[in-house]
Structure 1
């Protein structure tokens, strides 16, 4: 069975694993169904994510990427093993801000109304909400769209609202489940750049699910490739590309980017065929 630890990966200490934004999966297995219908979706997996890291989970359809994300979010409980976020068992709605494949906005509310609702559920004082809302909309480039209905804006803008809403709760973990899968290539690239910038500014730990080797290399500070079901770790790869204020086009066209993309792509294909 492939190892879940890469040779050069530093092993976090106990103190690291209790810090805000840390994630620990300890010998996690998750199954669906019962009896003859039982299916093992993932595991066993041991995986540690350090605070501030941008981890991308990549692999073929059905390998358990989204299952792992739901376990980290606290939406599901592992069949065996344990999941900890910031040193404790994750609780749904509290462990992380989550962005799904579809924006899941409230169409009867305006853009700012959707963000205001998220701020209310996050426990932000009423007096602070207008300033916090303005900060979030500015961060995702929607400062001029606050009064528009969600059905009046594009799909890419709707995902920006979903990102702003997920950032409303000031928790240290940000989870994204293939949020750009339904978008056109140009919009997807622009939103990738936005997520890269927003997560760098916020310093939040981020776990991002994708099928795309290109997207994984552009976004991640670390990439984990999963085998086919049941998903285990086939490759755990640190990404050394610059993460500051860089030219996105120049980065995508660099030789190092191409080499990393090819390595991840080959690993995904090999893992799916194994």
Structure 2
């Protein structure tokens, strides 16, 4: 094989469908020596582009660890993680929303969004249009001039989601973003995320410990066993997506059956 052919072959190995995720025999350990422990693994998982995957399991099963590995914030102890066919790089592989909004309190809503647009390399002349589009997507029109401490917790998390969407990465990662919110706000934001991801077609990986949230959001659910987390259940979700009535969906018999199946799997995996 010539050097040019070798270069082309290597480049081909580092490409894949935009937003796709693949974990091959991934194991991750923390600590060294006698204090070391395995958080997850081995895990083999393939997430096609455009899928909404929910990782669900009891606390401490390694859900957030897997998300950090996919984001490129950490590297696996063994195995390989690929996003769009390449090793993920922090800040480039995906937009990330954490459990807390992590906004800059001295900036307005506008300032937080503009900072994300700047880091995303968006031309400054396009900021007003892109900002308005992002805020409209998360239902925050008219809040541009307000400080982050002047808006509710749910609105702050919407700003965080808008900020994560600013770079137009084909992959969106969310780590229990609604855990600290009241039930009503949580349901509304679940509906927002479902709608936004359906509209944008982004691959989404969402971490939760709630079977109800997992079934409502996901087109596929993976239940993790207790630490070290491995795949205990891989379940496709056939509930309708797109323009659906959220309350009708939550009240459906199929939803109740899937929620019971996932809840039982989480409890069984945690007890095993």
| TM-score, scaled to structure 2 | 0.95
1:108-127 paired onto structure 2 within 5 Å: 108-127=106-125
User: Structure 1: where are the runs of 5+ without partners?
Assistant: 1-13
Residues 212-257 of structure 1: CA deviation (Å, up to 9, x unaligned): 0000000000000000000000000000000110000000000000
Shift of 1:171: 1.0
Cα distance in 1, alignment partners of residues 168 and 122 from structure 2 = 9
Q: 1:155 is matched with which residue: 153, 158, 164?
A: 153
Cα distance in 1, alignment partners of residues 187 and 142 from structure 2 = 21
1:135-150 paired onto structure 2 within 5 Å: 135-150=133-148
1:15-26 paired onto structure 2 within 5 Å: 18-26=16-24
Partner of 1:8: none
Shift of 1:31: 0.1
Cα distance in 2, alignment partners of residues 41 and 92 from structure 1 = 20
Partner of 1:176: 174
SS at 2:27 equivalent: strand
SS at 2:144 equivalent: coil
Please tell me whether Structure 1 or Structure 2 has the larger radius of gyration of its CA atoms: 2
1:74-223 paired onto structure 2 within 5 Å: 74-223=72-221
Shift of 1:50: 0.2
User: Structure 2: where are the runs of 5+ without partners?
Assistant: 1-11
Partner of 1:5: none
Alpha-carbon RMSD? 1.0
Shift of 1:76: 0.1
SS at 2:29 equivalent: strand
| TM-score, scaled to structure 1 | 0.94
Partner of 2:252: 254
How many residues matched? 260
Partner of 1:7: none
Partner of 2:265: 267
SS at 1:81 equivalent: strand
Shift of 1:170: 1.2
Cα distance in 2, alignment partners of residues 65 and 207 from structure 1 = 10
Shift of 1:191: 0.2
Q: Tell whether 2:47 aligns with 1:64.
A: no
SS at 1:71 equivalent: helix
Shift of 1:153: 0.2
SS at 1:18 equivalent: coil
1:25-64 paired onto structure 2 within 5 Å: 25-64=23-62
